[in-house]
Amino acid sequence: MDEEYREILARQQYRTYRDHGAVKLCHWMKESMVHGRVCYKQEFYGIKSHRCLQMTTAFNECSLACLFCWRVQGRDFEVTDWAEPKDLLDNLIEMQRSLITGFKGDPRCDLERYEEARNPTQVAISLAGEPIAYPYMSDFLRECHSRGMMTFLVTNGTYPDRIADLDVLPRQLYVTVAAPDETTYKRLCRPKDPGAWSRLNETLAMMPSLDTRTVIRHTLVKGMNLSDVPGYAALDRIADPDMVEPKGYVFVGGSRKRLTMDAMPSFAEIKDFSHQLSQMLGMQLLNEREDSRVALIGKPGLELDVGKHYGIEM
């Protein structure tokens, strides 16, 4: 990693380890610590916002250059010396502990909540890059689970072989589907090689066979991919996920150089999209969160609380 990029990430409050692992405090973690306001994932799935480790195992590369991505783009580089899973997890937890130190002296932050935050129970493997590019993902997930930690893994779906090779799966697997067709996909997600759409469809076809909870996330950008609900429904039927999260694009980070605020859908538009999609899929609207512009649709009778689903105390 070149030093200019390292400095950019540091200014953006990333903490990096071995040039491929990274951690950054989520906005909602901060809100939870000082104002008691939690993220939609706590409301939807029962995880604890203040005990969440927002991290990535591989910020160094991604197969896409999505217009809506907050990541600094054009800085991909090869890693040959990957950290071992235990080493990576231990160091990212310590880095997060350092990042939250200031909360201890904030009178708005309850001391018990601060101490809990020092020991995360939820690992959100997303943040930046394509996490599943990390070659030891199964062992990393195993390490997290051995500590009683919940794991959510987000992937863009263009690495089906990596998913197929996992002998340990995350507790909840997200696959981002940000286009209803290949033409829209190429225009919005800007894949770096021509086979990406085909590999995404391979991943979708694999999802029904995976023995874990699965979620399709539709990141929706007004004027670009917020249409053709039947096209999304056709892809979702292939994946047969437990849940679908239609979520509006947010004007943050590097995406501000590529899009405008007008690309953010209203919550009403997200709700309308979700209502149409749920009807087509025979799913139910399970929850929604206006300030995050997100809705959750899923199969009837589903246990949403991920801890209860797995019998894990969160």
- For 21, the enclosing helix (H) or strand (E) is strand 21-23
| Structural domain contains residue 308 | no
**Cα 84 to the chain's mean position, in Å?**
22
What was the pLDDT predicted at 253? 80
Report CA-CA distances (Å) from 61 to 21, 76, 181, 212, 275: 11, 5, 24, 26, 35
Query: What is the domain range of residue 173?
Result: 3-301
- pLDDT of 41 strictly over 80: yes
Query: Rounded mean pLDDT of the chain?
Result: 93
What is the C-alpha to C-alpha distance for residues 230 and 200, in angstroms, rounded to an integer? 18
| Structural domain contains residue 91 | yes
What is the C-alpha to C-alpha distance for residues 179 and 186, in angstroms, rounded to an integer? 9
Span 105-128, average pLDDT? 92
Model confidence band, residue 203 (pLDDT cutoffs 50, 70, 90)? very high
Angle at 50 between CA 49 and CA 53, to 5 degrees: 80
What was the pLDDT predicted at 237? 98
Please state the pTM of the whole predicted model. 0.94
| Structural domain contains residue 72 | yes
| Structural domain contains residue 306 | no
User: Phi/psi class of residue 215: alpha, beta or left (left: φ > 0; alpha: ψ in -120 to 50)?
Assistant: beta
Span 184-206, average pLDDT? 96
What is the C-alpha to C-alpha distance for residues 64 and 241, in angstroms, rounded to an integer? 23
Span 170-182, average pLDDT? 97
Span 55-74, average pLDDT? 89
Residue 281's CATH number: 3.20.20.70
| DSSP-assigned letters across all residues of 182-224 | HHHHHHHT--SSTTHHHHHHHHHHHGGG-SSEEEEEEEE-TTT
What was the pLDDT predicted at 78? 87
**DSSP secondary structure letter of residue 180:** S
Tell me the per-residue pLDDT of 251-260, one tens digit each, with 9 for 90 and over.
988 888 999 9
| Structural domain contains residue 70 | yes
| Structural domain contains residue 312 | no
Model confidence band, residue 13 (pLDDT cutoffs 50, 70, 90)? confident
| Structural domain contains residue 311 | no
| Structural domain contains residue 270 | yes
- Per the structure, the count of domains in the chain is 1
Report CA-CA distances (Å) from 271 to 10, 18, 237, 241, 246: 37, 41, 20, 19, 9
What was the pLDDT predicted at 38? 93
Candidates 227, 253, 200; CA nearest to 73 is: 253
Token pair of 151, please? 């794991």
